Structure 1
Amino acid sequence: MSTLYLFASAAEPVFDIARVVEDAQADGWDVCLGLTPTAARWLAGSLDGLAALTGHPVRWDYKLPGEPDAWPEAGAILFAPATFNTVNQWALGITDKFVLGVVAEGIGKGIPMVTMPCLNAAYAQHPQFEQSLGVLRGAGVSVLYGEDGFAPHRPGEGNPARFPWRLALDVVREAGRS
């Protein structure tokens, strides 16, 4: 069984993460869950249950120097939902958050990576966003956005139940087989 690092930032679809973990496990993945600090705060009451579900500690912060790694090596990484801020920081190489450090380094390690942004149409109009998507695609990250993934919604009109989790899991499964 290969290990999937499932990373999520603070967008409403993160509240479905337990179901996504179960779906990934049903697909044959050993899942390690990493969150941005805000997503960890949103899920604070569920973190122990999520750790029990995955069999691994849920991580949102860097380990201390000299501490052993608590997770097995990644076979693939799925970062979803990835917010406007997360996508831009990743593309710019800003690694102040644990999950961003892992994916930035993952590019250099050649780990198969898939991301699905989650943002509203107003954020999507910012010129940096398209540049960031291009940088990630150019670095080999599979970006599921627009016609091939998540389509931005009008501000205040998002529906987390429509976030295409199954598509993301299917694409990362294929990427992990390559």
Structure 2
Amino acid sequence: MTAPLGFVVCGAPLAARAIDVARALTDEGWTLSIGVSEAGAEWVDPDKLAVIGEHAVATRRRHATERRRTPRPEQVVAFPLTFNTANKIAAGIMDNHVTGTLCDALGTGASVLATLMVNDRLWGHPTWDGTLDWLTAAGVRFLDPRVGDVTRPEPLPSGIGEQVVDGFDPRWIVDAVAALPGDDS
């Protein structure tokens, strides 16, 4: 069985486009292993996300005695990646299936593409520069949610979430994933 593409969704307005992104990825032939954080479920219905295309595989927390049903992803997309989750994974905190997937990916050297959705108010937090530096050094690639470029991330002005959601093109993720190391699609 080929490793699926990990697709994790955190809680920010851009999560409302997760179904569109998942559909674009599965249309390109990717099998998705999907995880939605509790906060992400406020923006997208995990059950609807899990049935996108014929290739989607919903993930859930496994009981410690259960075997893994799918291989570990060699590539992971965090769409979107929030301030909270980014800080947790930089600190190695695995307190839910989404942070677990991301920490595991970073620990094994899997490719990670993150679409940050962090506003300018949080960008100035004292830990943020260190988090960005750590994630960059770990090889995380960041996709700008306003223009689709893979670049050093920048803050989003507070209050433009709806504009970002409306202007986001799911193809940006497909193209960026195709350029990740380890792409075998």
Question: Counterpart of 1:177 in 2: which secondary structure?
Answer: coil
Q: How does 1:64-83 map to 2 (within 5 A)?
A: 64-83=63-82
1:177 corresponds to which residue? 183
2:115 corresponds to which residue? 116
Q: Of residues 161, 164, 167 in structure 2, which corresponds to 1:162? A: 167
TM-score (norm: length of structure 2): 0.82
TM-score (norm: length of structure 1): 0.85
Structure 1 residue ranges, 4+ long, deviating more than 4 angstroms after superposition? none
Count of aligned residue pairs for this structure pair: 174
1:17 corresponds to which residue? 18
1:36-71: CA deviations, max 9, x gaps? 11112443xx33332222542243xx3110112233
Judge conservation of contact 1:150–1:163 (CA < 8 Å) in 2: no
Unaligned runs of 5+ in 2: none
Q: 1: CA distance between counterparts of 2:169 and 2:91? A: 26
CA RMSD of aligned residues (A): 2.4
Q: How much does 1:145 deviate?
A: 4.9
Q: 2: CA distance between counterparts of 1:52 and 1:164? A: 21
1:135 corresponds to which residue? 134
1:29 corresponds to which residue? 30
Q: 1: CA distance between counterparts of 2:69 and 2:42? A: 21
Q: 2: CA distance between counterparts of 1:101 and 1:151? A: 25
Unaligned runs of 5+ in 1: none
Q: Is residue 2:155 matched to residue 1:152?
A: yes
* Segment drifting more, 154-163 vs 12-21: 154-163
Judge conservation of contact 2:89–2:103 (CA < 8 Å) in 1: yes
Q: 1: CA distance between counterparts of 2:115 and 2:9? A: 10
Question: Counterpart of 1:56 in 2: which secondary structure?
Answer: strand
One-letter identity of the residue aligned with 2:65? G
Q: 2: CA distance between counterparts of 1:75 and 1:157? A: 33
One-letter identity of the residue aligned with 1:168? I
Q: How much does 1:104 deviate?
A: 1.0
Question: Counterpart of 1:21 in 2: which secondary structure?
Answer: helix
1:4-42: CA deviations, max 9, x gaps? 111110011111111111101122211121111111244
Question: Counterpart of 1:113 in 2: which secondary structure?
Answer: strand
Higher helix share: 1
